[in-house]
Amino acid sequence: MDGSSVFMIEQNLLPFEFKIHEAKTYKDTCHAIRTMIVRGAGAIGAAAGFAMAQAFIENHPDGRCEIESTRPTAQTLFYAVKRVFDKAINSKYPKRAAFEEALAIANEDAQHCRLIGEHGEKLIKDGMNIETHCNAGWLAFVDWGSALSPVYAAARKGKNVFVYADETRPRGQGARLTAWELLNEGIPHKIIPDNAGAHLMSKGKIDIIIVGADRIAANGDTGNKIGTLEKAICAKEYGIPFYIAAPTSTIDKDCPTGKDIPIEERSDKEVLYQTGRDKEGTMREVLVCNPGSNAGNPAFDVTPAKYITGIITEKGIVKPENL
Ligand code: MRU
């Protein structure tokens, strides 16, 4: 416990560059969450837990408010901060207790995602085509991931699987991160535009859809990356099973229905500009929309429970109405 830095993969540079980012103070870790250096429900939760521990180590337990205001939608952020805060404030050795609790949360996240893989793998038959949205793989968690964990488990068991990764505008988590993970795992896949899903479903090209979750309300309504709702509605129309994969730390019992899930509105710059690498290998930000036009950027949507076939958790697969 000499140093109190938090180390994380700099996700904004992927897939072009792999770099580890060091956040030396709780404010640095807040900055990393806010700017999506670290992103994805479980990874945000783990980072926020460690930020809370850093705040205790820096004698600033009042930093809790700042940590909780970094991003509004992912329930795991609030779950982790509360757990670390409660543990430390009730301990004789708050700094050590905070650090140990943050570590326990991170380890649990990895363990729970591994179990999600074990349960979810049973839904995947040899030769299946799977569609996923956003990135809910090992970059988005401490390890394994939620939606991709069953896919990894199926592939490691020798099943032939093919993944359609939705591009996931505007940040491109599917095109940049899910595709990078799948390539590294040796899993055959294609990046598809966000608006291609319904077409592929209508042609019988998708056998199952598995996505992650940022917050699950008590009635099973699920908040996830913007665009998830459209996939769920289309899946229902074409009789395709639509699964949410998420650790139970994502469930917010204080949120009765999806209407209560806070939806983050992000900067319009994320829609108007795109960042990528030019032919010379230099990272550049370019305007991809009409100059002078404004853009809206709601980052999440809520899928009503009626569209969800089941929720894959570390404890097993449950119907949303039985949560
Ligand atoms: O990239 P983010 O942090 O804005 O998106 C959150 C997510 O990762 C997705 O909504 C994901 O599908 C939920 S599970 C990690």
**Cα three-residue angle 132-134-137, rounded to 5 degrees:** 75
Both tokens of 169, joined, read: 């505008």
Distance 91 CA to ligand 1 centre (A): 33
Q: Reduce the DSSP state of residue 7 to 3 states and report it.
A: strand
241: exposed, middle or buried (C-beta count within 10 Å: 0-12, 13-18, 19+)?
A: middle
Both tokens of 174, joined, read: 């599917």
Active-site residues, by number, are 214
> How many angstroms from the chain centroid is the CA of residue 132?
12
pTM, entire model: 0.97
- Residue 287, pLDDT score: 98
**Segments making up each domain of the chain, as ranges:** 6-113, 118-322
Identify whether the C-beta of residue 57 lies closer than 8 Å to the C-beta of residue 93: no
pLDDT surpassing 70 at residue 2:
no
**Cα three-residue angle 72-78-80, rounded to 5 degrees:** 140
Residue 73 near ligand 1, beta carbon < 6 Å: no
Residue 20: strand pairing partners: 9
Q: Which residue has the tokens 């994969």?
A: 245
Domain 6-113 is of which CATH architecture? Up-down Bundle (1.20)
Residue 217: strand pairing partners: 252
- β-strand 222-225 against 215-217: which pairing, if any? antiparallel
Ligand 1 pocket check: which of 9, 133, 135 to mutate, most ligand atoms within 8 Å of Cβ? 135
Report pLDDT digits (tens) over 232-291: 999 999 999 999 999 999 999 999 999 999 999 999 999 999 999 999 999 999 999 999
Residue 180: strand pairing partners: none
3 pLDDT band, cuts 50/70/90, is low
- Residue 240, pLDDT score: 98
Both tokens of 218, joined, read: 């008590």
Report pLDDT digits (tens) over 25-79: 999 999 999 999 999 999 999 999 999 999 999 999 999 999 999 999 999 999 9
One of 3.90.470.10, 3.90.1150.10, 3.40.50.10470, 3.30.450.40 is the CATH number of 118-322, namely 3.40.50.10470
Residue 234 near ligand 1, beta carbon < 6 Å: no
* Mean pLDDT across the chain: 97
* Residue 171 CA, closest ligand 1 atom number: 1
| Rounded CA Rg of the chain | 19
Residue 9 near ligand 1, beta carbon < 6 Å: no
1 pLDDT band, cuts 50/70/90, is very low
107 pLDDT band, cuts 50/70/90, is very high
Q: What are phi and psi of 239, to 5 degrees?
A: 65, 35
